[in-house]
Structures are given as C-alpha cells and as structure tokens.
Amino acid sequence: MFKSETVQVWPETGPFLEQVEQHLGLALGLEKQYLVASRLQPIARARGMEDWRALLRSLSQSPVGELHWACFEAMTTQETRFFRDDFCFETLRHTVLPEVLERARSRRVLKVWSAGTSTGQEACSLAILLYDHFPEVRDWQVQIWATDICEQTLAQAQAARYSGQELDKGLSSEQKSRHFLIQPDGHFSLAPQLKRWIGVARHNLLDPVPETGFDLVLLRNVLIYFRANQKSQVLRCVHQSMSAAGASLILGASETIFEHDLFIQHKAARGGYFTRHDKFS
Ligand SMILES: C[S@@+](CC[C@H](N)C(=O)[O-])C[C@H]1O[C@@H](n2cnc3c(N)ncnc32)[C@H](O)[C@@H]1O
C-alpha cells in the first residue's frame, strides 16, 4: 500500500499506481506520480477526454480492460540500446556462451530468452555476438525468444527495423554494414540470416511462462522496478523455464537476487551472471 507521509498524493493516482503494480509488477512509488500525468495525457487527448485526471476517473469506474492496459503499458520504461553494458556481452562471449554451447552441442539446438526485450536491440545484439564469434551455431537451430509486455515496443522488435541513430548507439560501422540492410526510407533492417533466429511475443513476466527449455535467459534492467515478492514470483517462473541445472541467467549489471535456492551467482564475471541451481536437476 502507498503511504502519504512525505509525498502529497494526488487523489486519482494512488489507486492507478496500485493497479500498475498488481498487473505489471512495476512499483513506481508516489514520487513518480508526475509520470502519470505526462504519460497519460496523450492517451487522454487521443480518446477525446479533457485531461489525464478525467482518464483516471474513467478507468476507476470500469473493470480492467483494453484502455487500462494501454495506460499500464504507458508507465513502462523502454530504455535500451545495442550491446547495452558492453561488459555484460564480454562476459557472455568469454564465459557464459562457451559453457552454454558446450552443453547444447550434441543437440545442435540453442534456446535463448530475451525477457523484457523492449524494442529488440538486446535480442539482435545476442544474435550478432553468436553469428560473429561462434560460427558453429550458424548450422544449428537457434531460437531467440524476445518478449515484452508493451505492444508498441514489440512492433519494432518484430520488424527489427532501426534508425541510423539507434544503430549508432552501440554498433560499429562494420557490424552495421555486415548485419543490417538499408531501406529506401533510410531505416535499417536486420539481415535475414539473423532475423530468422528471433521470434517476438507478448508476455507478462507475472504470468506463467508458456515456453521452456531455455539454455540462457537475459532478464536485464526489468526487475529493478519490481518489489521483492513479485521479483521472486518472476524468478521462480524463469527458473522453471530453464532447460536444466547449469542453464544461465543474466541480469542487469547492478541487479542481484536473494533466491539462492534457485540460482548460483558467479561473482567473478562482470555483469549479473547466475546459473540454475543443481539441486533442481
Ligand atoms: C528498461 S527496458 C530493458 C530493455 C532491455 N532488457 C535492456 O536491458 O536494454 C525494461 C522493459 O521491461 C518491460 N517490462 C516491464 N514490466 C514487464 C512485465 N511485467 N512483463 C514483461 N515485460 C515488462 C518494459 O516494457 C520494458 O520494455
């Protein structure tokens, strides 16, 4: 529940932020209530309502439906970039992927989940890393499942289409020319040899996972906004989705977890690197 000792509560926002936390896991706190106004105002205008307060009043009078979800999604933060936190990708390249591929070699199938992928740069970066540094997987069945709750970001992830400015955040000119095709409108599309590896789907991390057998899960910069109990709920689902003991989980650089019964933390590697605990194998 929200407390109002230090922050003045706008009457409409408390119940809405509680709903956001209940349905998405995002605990934004009342100090973020100014975001409600700025993010919901465009939705209110597009629906012909007077302002965001009128929108919130209308939400409070009906059961959770399509308009509620549009407003919940508007409260998410989509910040991402190619090879975000490059040292995480160094850890993937030198420590995590060699072990993951060793375990998957006899199957020649590699299953990765980019959970909370936003507009898909994380999934693309992993595909580039695999293609460039682990050429043996080019003949394998590689499946990178890129999911997010936000429909709008998923549309871009699905198209794997980026502006030159987006590409410049994190990719070298060589990576750009090797893996992207320029389109007539000046945007860039991920080349087919990598795009075929990536499947995009909408998934709420608070829901049970419809896919299993992942050798590697990237769950970076998503749980930072979650409260402990919901974070734990997500981690239990992620644990169940992983192929076997030793399957790998990467969190954001500064993120940690307390579910030591589920995952072993590898402190030597930079970035949040964990493996599924053996006792569940
Ligand atoms: C800050 S972005 C991180 C993107 C990428 N993982 C990275 O590190 O660059 C966080 C993403 O998590 C998504 N997200 C937030 N709550 C979610 C939930 N309950 N289920 C699925 N995705 C969620 C948001 O929509 C957003 O795209």
Q: Are residues 234 and 186 in the same domain?
A: yes
Segment (H or E) for 202: strand 198-202
Using a cut of 0.75, tell me whether the model's pTM lies above it.
yes
Q: Are residues 115 and 194 in the same domain?
A: yes
Q: Are residues 241 and 134 in the same domain?
A: yes
User: 189 near 200, Cβ under 8 Å?
Assistant: no
In a domain, 81, yes or no: no
In a domain, 21, yes or no: yes
Q: Are residues 176 and 268 in the same domain?
A: yes
Q: How far is CA 174 from CA 26, 100, 128, 235, in A?
A: 38, 26, 11, 37
pLDDT in tens, 149-204: 999 999 999 999 999 999 999 999 999 999 999 999 999 999 999 999 999 999 99
Identify which of 72, 222, 227 to mutate to test ligand 1's pocket (most ligand atoms within 8 A of the CB).
222
Dist CA 219 CA 205 (whole Å): 10
- Residue 262 has a CB neighbour count (10 Å cut-off) of 20
Q: Are residues 195 and 107 in the same domain?
A: yes
Boundary (domain end) residue, out of 74, 96, 119 = 74
Q: Are residues 63 and 103 in the same domain?
A: no
Q: Are residues 32 and 168 in the same domain?
A: no
Dist CA 120 CA 161 (whole Å): 9
In a domain, 247, yes or no: yes
- Please state the domain count of the chain: 2
Strand, coil or helix: what is 65?
A: coil
Q: Which residues contact 217 (CB under 8 A, 6 or more apart)?
A: 112, 113, 115, 238, 241, 242, 247, 248, 249, 250
222 lines ligand 1 (CB under 6 A): yes
Mean pLDDT rounded to a whole number for the chain = 92
Q: What is the CATH number of the domain that holds 144?
A: 3.40.50.150
Q: Are residues 263 and 193 in the same domain?
A: yes
Q: Categorize the per-residue pLDDT at 48 as very low, low, confident or very high, splitting at 50, 70 and 90.
A: very high
Q: Are residues 197 and 220 in the same domain?
A: yes
Rounded CA Rg of the chain = 20
In a domain, 8, yes or no: no
User: Which residue segment(s) compose the domain that 60 sits in?
Assistant: 13-74
Q: Are residues 152 and 254 in the same domain?
A: yes
Measured from the CA of 79, which atom of ligand 1 is nearest? 1
248 lines ligand 1 (CB under 6 A): no
Task: Give the pair of three-digit tokens for residue 148.
Answer: 């997010």
In a domain, 160, yes or no: yes
Q: Which residues contact 135 (CB under 8 A, 6 or more apart)?
A: none
Boundary (domain end) residue, out of 74, 95, 116 = 74
- Residue 34 has a CB neighbour count (10 Å cut-off) of 11
Whose CA is closest to atom 19 on ligand 1?
A: 24
pLDDT in tens, 110-156: 999 999 999 999 999 999 999 999 999 999 999 999 999 999 999 99
Distance of CA 220 from the midpoint of ligand 1 (Å): 8
Q: Which residues contact 48 (CB under 8 A, 6 or more apart)?
A: none
